Amino acid sequence: MPRTPYIAANWKMHKTVAEAGEFVDALLPQIAATQNDVAICPPFTALSAVVERRHGTAVKVAAQNMHEEGSGAFTGEVSAPMLGEVGVEAVVLGHSERRQYFGETDEALARKVPAALEAGLEPILCVGESEDARDAGQTDAVLERQLQADLAEVVGGKLGVVVIAYEPIWAIGTGRTATPEQAQEACAFIRDFVRERGGPGEAVRIIYGGSVKPGNAAELIGQPDIDGALVGGASLDADDFAAIVKAAG
């Protein structure tokens, strides 16, 4: 069975509740006919508003991070059950900005991914190499290390529930997109990893992130092992994001 394309809008630290509502109202009519999976990842404060506004549609709502424990003395953190309670269905984990600026570790991710699954959330796990690692020919090694660590506690059968986002750090927010060949190669490598771990390699969704725009989305998502996109900058504009959803077929 062909895999359903998966397009996610990672708003990062953008949009108030009012702005989020305007975006959803502008987006929904434009993507009413799509068969693709569409997710919006707002900041925590706008999650409930987006859950409410997308009501009655297939659009999923995802958080951008969560803590691995269900509750506890972790000031400033939010747990998977808390997200589930407000109607959130998915969560971005291991985004490179969290790894770079907020000390997100593979050890924590090894606990976050199963905690998300346990709570019924679909993890969108981000992996990707730095420019130095790519220049040193270390791309596959970095991806393998991250996947091995972050998915260590996920049994093979459950791997199909995880959406894996290949996000080369040098392409995020830089306007420098990976070439379709580079992105395809990395996504194929990730699919092989899932197969070797006993997961459903044919079913797992592997998406690309890094300067995806309406103009380059179709070619990237058209690659055999690229099943969609995690979109940052271009997801802040409803028309641009709708164009990317439509470009995904």
Residue 117 or 172 with smaller CB distance to ligand PGA = 172
Catalytic position from the list 67, 68, 95, 122: 95
Q: Give the Cβ contact number of residue 218 at 10 Å.
A: 15
What count of other Cβ atoms lies within 10 Å of the Cβ of residue 223? 16
| CB-based contact 181:221 (threshold 8 Å) | no
Query: Which one, 114 or 168, has the nearer CB to ligand PGA?
Result: 168
User: Across the chain, where does the E strand assignment appear?
Assistant: 6-10, 37-41, 60-63, 90-93, 122-127, 163-166, 206-209, 228-231
Q: Which is nearer to ligand PGA, 46 or 230 (CB)?
A: 230
Q: What angle do CA 159, 102, 65 make, to 5 degrees?
A: 40
Beta carbon nearer to ligand PGA, 82 or 143: 143
Residues lying near ligand PGA in the complex (CB under 6 A): 10, 167, 172-173, 209-212, 230-234
3-state secondary structure of 130: coil
* Token pair 């984990």 in the structure block, residue: 93
**Minimum separation from the CB atom of position 214 to ligand PGA (A):** 12
3-state secondary structure of 163: strand
153 is catalytic: no
Closest residue by beta carbon to ligand PGA: 232
Residue 216 Cβ, how far from ligand PGA at the closest point, in Å?
Answer: 11
Closer CB to ligand PGA, 50 or 234, in the complex:
234
CB of 76 to ligand PGA, least distance (A): 22
Q: To which H or E segment does residue 184 belong?
A: helix 180-196
CA distance linking residue 94 with residue 106, whole number of Å: 8
Active-site residue, 95 included: yes
Report the nearest approach of ligand PGA to the CB of residue 40 (Å). Answer: 13
The least CB distance from residue 35 to ligand PGA, in Å, is 23
In whole angstroms, what is the distance from residue 47 CA to residue 66 CA? 13
Bridge partners of 229, per DSSP, are 7, 208
Instruction: Tell me how far CA of residue 140 lies from CA of 113, 132, 166, 199, 211, in angstroms.
Output: 21, 13, 11, 19, 21
Active centre residues (catalytic): 95, 167
